[in-house]
Amino acid sequence: MKRGLATNRRAGPPIELISFEGFPAGAILSSVFTTAGSGPVAIRGYNPFIGLDTNAALIFDSSFPTGGDFDLGTPHVSFGGPGIGPGGRAGPFQNDEPQGKILIIGENLNDWEGDGLVNSPDDLNAAASPNATLLFDFAAVGSVTILGITIIDVEASEQPPIITYFDSTGATLGTAIVPATGDNGVAEVDLGGVTGVSQMLINMRGSGAVDDLLLRREEPGSIAFVRNLVGVDVTPDGGTALLFDLGSTNGNTYFYDTESGALELKTTVGSPFRDFPTGISGTRRVSAHHGDPVEAGLWTEAGGWLDLGNVYPLGCGVDQGSAWDISADGNAAVGLLWNECNGVAFRWTSAGGLMPLELLGASFPGSTNPPTNRATKISDDGAVVGGFAQTDLVDRWPALWEADGSGFLLPGGVFPVDAPGEVLSVSADGSMVAGIWNFEGFYWTESAGVVPLGLLPGALPGGQTFPNAIAASGQLIFGKASPGFFDPPVVFVWTAADGMRSLVDIAVANGVDIPANITLDNILAASTDGSVLVGSAFDFSFRSYAFVLKLPVSAYGL
């Protein structure tokens, strides 16, 4: 990679590069391997004047331009190279580094010496045809995630190239328009991480070249089980799962490396009859119900436990409160404080300490006690808090709070007024929340309001749905559905296009082998992109297991 597109993406399969170094100028390129050895990736260039049956994908040496194409030279002359053109001068598309060998659609394929090399490589220009294309076919590699590409010499007077992505069925996944660089300009285009790509078609629509295609191979689906533990949470990048031993005396709490499979005891929270971990941040800080008396606790490997205490003089007996979740940066946490055994929602920050959130809801008729509130989940960015508040009819009603402490109850009208509900998950940016209401799953956004998730195919009303995790900017919701009292649990994924579906069915269809004696009981957490899921399972003897399920998000139809 000669010009460094950002590589700070989620831990997982490494970023791979398709470069055209190592090929001689004038070579007609039909396939290439990534610099990591993945491939072959089939390549085909289409020049309408040469015909469909002839590959016109051609290697061009930008350090020694031929065919009079100095606008494809790199670097620009002002940076010591052979490139000529105003776009390559100092500015937004400055051409200041050598690109070496690049890929063009050949204007002609004349091989005068018969040595297999085109004598004077020259790119097809827009005046000749706007219909020339470059096709990258990843069938031999498997589906990939497209991250970025370098574009050279896209002239402002021409139509900019359009990139179209296709999945393995040939269905279109989306398109992207490449910016005009100006004559001899260079652009490193961040393509945003398009998943599930089997083919990528670049309609050049004019002159120009491409280089340095960045991609990531999508791992096949996999599942790993850890016996005698239960799942709790996973870091936003999907790299570390938080697991818990319900059978331990002191509440053993573990980190599980989702890449290597390494399991490490990190801390203890206290007796599992009273204490348990609840969340993990991107910095590996853990939130929990901690100790005896029980307090809201935060743990780091460097500093150990920080118990947050209480702002009220009397808790509930000896207990003071509990931490239920933590933000991605570890600097904000939420939970419940006891005020004379009345639950108060709180938000804690490393800068400001404990702050009780606005008291929402209403007391039960005839009661002098204030309504119970609890903050259960916080968005990764720390801005939005979800949980519940008591009303005069039910012990819990879905509630949201802002970072300043103000809050509101979600609007009624969809479910009965005497139906309990609560928020169980919040998206990374807080724009979507999901939860259970009247035993049904729902999501809420400011624009759509409260929307039921529906039922699994073939399920009858009357079961329970627990939407425990939101991923992929609200495109994916994961959780557990119990279709009926005597029915086994079903882990599910919800998308807007397909509604609720069995996650087991999707996993099996993507090559995941789930032992026949194990039932996936619940999905409790998801990485930000939805590719890593953490949950709990049990076998025929009701022995518990934590599990980590990995699937490319393309498996969900995204």
Whether the CB-CB separation of 333 and 322 falls below 8 Å is answered with: no
CA distance readout (Å), 481 to 220, 454, 487: 25, 11, 10
At 157 the three-state DSSP class reads coil
Flag whether pLDDT at 14 surpasses 90. Answer: no
Mean pLDDT, residues 269-286 = 98
List the single range of 266-270, 288-292, 550-554 with lowest mean pLDDT.
550-554
Domains in the chain, please, with CATH? 15-217 (2.60.120), 222-556 (2.120.10.30)
Mean pLDDT, residues 261-287 = 98
> So what's the pLDDT on residue 439?
96
Distance (Å, whole) CA 21 – CA 210: 12
List the single range of 8-22, 118-132, 369-383, 457-471 with lowest mean pLDDT.
8-22
The predicted model scores a pTM of 0.76
Distance (Å, whole) CA 241 – CA 239: 7
Helix, strand, coil percent values for the chain (each to nearest 5): 5, 45, 50
> So what's the pLDDT on residue 62?
98
Give tens-digit pLDDT for 441-498. 999 999 999 999 999 988 888 889 999 999 999 999 999 998 776 788 999 999 999 9
> So what's the pLDDT on residue 319?
97
The 3-state secondary structure of 318-330 reads: CECEEEEEECCCC
DSSP state of 505: H
Distance (Å, whole) CA 287 – CA 323: 6
Flag whether pLDDT at 239 surpasses 50. Answer: yes
Distance (Å, whole) CA 539 – CA 514: 11
Phi, psi (deg, nearest 5) at residue 421: -165, 165
Flag whether pLDDT at 303 surpasses 80. Answer: yes
Query: Would you list the DSSP string of 462-493?
Result: T-EEEEEEEEGGGTEEEEEEE-STTSPPEEEE
In sequence order, what are the residues at sequence separation of 6 or more whose Cβ sits closer than 8 angstroms to the Cβ of residue 80?
none
Name 209's bridge partners.
Answer: 152
Long-range contacts of 413-417 (CB under 8 A, 24+ apart): 413/450, 414/442, 414/449, 414/450, 414/451, 414/452, 415/440, 415/442, 415/450, 417/393
> So what's the pLDDT on residue 42?
98
Nearest to 500 by CA among 477, 483, 523: 477
Distance (Å, whole) CA 332 – CA 348: 5
Mean pLDDT, residues 386-412 = 98
In the structure, what pLDDT confidence band is assigned to residue 553 with cuts at 50, 70 and 90? Answer: confident
In the structure, what pLDDT confidence band is assigned to residue 7 with cuts at 50, 70 and 90? Answer: very low
For the chain, the average pLDDT equals 94
Pairing type for strands 353-356 and 342-349 reads: antiparallel
Mean pLDDT, residues 497-507 = 96
Flag whether pLDDT at 2 surpasses 50. Answer: no
> So what's the pLDDT on residue 10?
42
Show the tokens assigned to 63. Answer: 């350090």
Helix and strand numbers (H, E) in the chain are 1, 40
Mean pLDDT, residues 140-146 = 92
Sheet of 397-402: strand order equals 373-378, 384-389, 397-402, 407-409
> So what's the pLDDT on residue 76?
98
In the structure, what pLDDT confidence band is assigned to residue 17 with cuts at 50, 70 and 90? Answer: very high
Mean pLDDT, residues 78-84 = 97
In the block, residue with structure tokens 């009079």: 68
Whether the CB-CB separation of 201 and 172 falls below 8 Å is answered with: no
Mean pLDDT, residues 35-46 = 96
First-to-last CA distance in the chain?
Answer: 28
Flag whether pLDDT at 6 surpasses 70. Answer: no
Nearest to 555 by CA among 534, 532, 535, 536: 532
Show the tokens assigned to 302. Answer: 């460097």
Give tens-digit pLDDT for 174-205. 999 999 999 999 999 999 889 889 999 999 98
Flag whether pLDDT at 298 surpasses 50. Answer: yes
Whether the CB-CB separation of 422 and 396 falls below 8 Å is answered with: yes
Distance (Å, whole) CA 4 – CA 25: 24
Flag whether pLDDT at 170 surpasses 80. Answer: yes
In the structure, what pLDDT confidence band is assigned to residue 126 with cuts at 50, 70 and 90? Answer: low
Residue type, 290: H
Pairing type for strands 41-46 and 133-137 reads: antiparallel
Nearest to 293 by CA among 304, 279, 303, 308: 308
Flag whether pLDDT at 334 surpasses 60. Answer: yes
Distance (Å, whole) CA 171 – CA 167: 6
